[in-house]
A and B are shown apart, each in its own frame.
Chain A
Amino acid sequence: MDLSQINPILLLASLMVAATPILLAAIGEAVVEKAGVLNLGVEGMMITGAVVGFAITVNTDAPVLGFVCAAIAGAALSMLFGILTQYLLSNQVATGLGLTLFGLGVSSLIGKPYEGMKVTTLSKFEVPLLSDIPVIGPILFKHDPMVYVSILIIAATWYVLTHTRAGLILRGVGENHDAAHALGYKVIRVRLMAIAFGGACAGLGGAYISLVRVPQWVDGMTAGAGWIALAIVVFASWRPWRVLLGAYLFGGITVLQLNLQAAGVPVPVEVLASSPYIITILVLVAISMKGSHGAPGALGKIFHATH
């Protein structure tokens, strides 16, 4: 075992990369849940985004186009969920699970010919001047553009949710859809937009795994990231900046765990490999012990306007 191999600067820098997929998926899901909808299909939308982003980038050599198409694919898949739950009034838990199973099947079907291929990944973007600062520069300012985009999405989500009329309507729909409906807001339309946003974010997160983090296509490569994103939304109490905190904490654990494995720490590999999942459970327990933590009032409930 050689802990001195672990370079804290590199560790912190790779933390941001490891956290970005979950960060993207989680902020999307946070908005969906703020609108009162529980979409358990995050994993399915992520993996579909991963495979679509990868396939497009392999064929066009343009990772940006890959990300755009991944977002569109995620949103398209989420619309399937949206139509089923909003118009056909199906159970959200069951539909979300179905979406995950469906997405895993679709991705494996599309991805088969792309296994083992190489892909053009995003180039690093060094923020001028700031990236030259010792220690802080390499940790914060020498990443690919998606890392910054994900933080911008968080900031924008926070602003829209808390400082705009649109955000107020969205939260109102999520807290009490009958009251929002009585005030004349289009509950279903608002929710469909939120679901599409969630799908697009999950697609981006998935594409980040297959295009930057790995970068390769492996069947089932999201390995539960979508479920962890769902847990992070609960951890964050549905607040955007806390989503960022939760995702980075989780990214930190993942990276540290991988580094410890590489350094040969005398802990069984299985324990290290399953530590992100075990820690997620522990965090969920800790959060639920605190009791009430601000879940949207109408979360997961079916909305059916009678008049």
Chain B
Amino acid sequence: MIRLEKRPSPSRVWAAMTPVLAVVATMIAGGFLFWMLGKDPLESIRTIFWDPLFHETFGPYSRPQLLVKAAPLILIAIGLSLGFRAGVWNIGAEGQYIMGAICGAGVGLAFFPADNPLIFPTMILAGALGGWAWAMIPGFLKVRFGTNEILVSLMLVYVAEALLASVSQGLLQNPDGMGFPGSRNFRDFPAAHNAEIFTNTGMHWGVVFAFVAVIFAYVLLTRHMLGFHVRLTGEAPRAARFAGVNPTRLVLFCLGTSGALAGMAGMFEVSGPAGQISIDFNSGYGFTAIIVAFLGRLHPIGILLAGLLMALTYIGGELAQLMLGLPAAAIQMFQGMLMFFLLAMDMLTNYRIRFSMKTA
């Protein structure tokens, strides 16, 4: 008879071990999946996890991509992790990401073709504000009326997608684009272009902000009263209330921060790697970031590593598509599996497994 026994406090060893175990389990299950799709499992796993970094021909091209893909994931996941720790479930980061991109790009394009060093900083601010405002809708509704933030933030993703379709064919459409949907390309607008800071490293301003966000979140959670309140609310809501935590302020802080970070991520993406506002520039980072946040154990350093790993599966997935003809959806499924294994193994952190002969 197997019995679970709750640990007095979560095991630190297991908390660090479970993501590693989950990744290994996902590789095994993923290999099986690829084998069922008629691919060589070992070669598939090697193409996804090894070749993007160390392959002679592809490595130099895909290594910079690692930072490009990881930056938005880390930025968004850092914001989400604050809320998830406090039991505030913002799952509409995708919508905030889109709104940040629209606002940031809109402000930038309004100045076309001016050349002023203040344009780009203004765009960052506009992007953050756009995402913040979009996240404030569920935030305000939650604190004012007690409306469920999960459903509202998610519904707003679909509204943001409709808005994105609208502006890329209307308001922000390239006037010189001969009627094609999509805005001007930021590559032709140096003052607003989020270019690489060092060539061929993938290092753009979004990456810098992602690293800053990691450090900021780390300091906040370990050294600051507000971070303590965030953790306390998640772990012991009643104790938090007695300690004088203001739940309203906390909800607004968590949603606002995650919205602003997601908005910034969207703005960096659209003015740099994506290059323009188009109907489908968003590639689901807002949803993948949820997995990143959990894989990183809602801890800033963990999220940094998880973001890099998830970026690797994106790049490796593209490579596997190219080299082995692995369908793109297989990678999406692979990422979903990772989340499952992680949640399943989380049990080991909070519970002990006991084997006993007699039935309970």
Mark A residues whose CB is within 8 Å of B.
40, 80, 84, 88-91, 93-95, 97-98, 101-106, 108-109, 112, 223-224, 227-228, 230-231, 234, 268-271, 273-274, 277-278, 280-281, 284-285, 288-289, 291, 304-307
Contact = CB atoms under 8 A, between A and B. Distances in A.
Interface in B135-171: 141, 145-148, 150-152, 154-159, 162-163, 165-166
Given A90-B347, A93-B150, A284-B148, A101 B335 contact: yes
22 contacts: A89-B351, A91-B343, A94-B294, A101-B336, A101-B339, A102-B336, A103-B336, A105-B332, A105-B336, A108-B327, A109-B329, A112-B327, A227-B154, A269-B166, A281-B141, A281-B147, A281-B151, A281-B156, A284-B147, A284-B151, A288-B141, A304-B4
Contacts of A234: 148, 151
Contacts of A285: 141, 145, 147
Contacts of B112: none
Interface string B322-334: 0000011111111
Nearest to A95: B343
A278 B344 CA distance: 35
A101 B287 contact: yes
Contacts of B82: none
B124 interface: no
Interface residues of B, number: 48
Interface of B: 4, 6, 84, 89, 91, 141, 145-148, 150-152, 154-159, 162-163, 165-166, 287-288, 290-291, 294, 327-337, 339-340, 343-344, 346-347, 350-351, 360
Contacts of B329: 105-106, 108-109, 112
Contact of B155 (A80, A90, A273, A281): A281
Nearest to A289: B145
Contacts, number: 134
Contacts of B147: 281, 284-285, 288
B159 A278 contact: yes
Contacts of A277: 155-156, 158-159
Q: 8 tightest CB-CB pairs across the interface, nearest first? A: A102-B336, A105-B333, A105-B332, A108-B329, A98-B339, A109-B329, A270-B166, A90-B343
A288 B343 contact: no
Contacts of B290: 97, 101
B151 A227 contact: yes
A98 B150 contact: no
Contacts of B360: 305, 307
A146 B1 CA distance: 44
B305 to A, nearest CB: 19
A307 B6 CA distance: 12
B154 A224 contact: yes
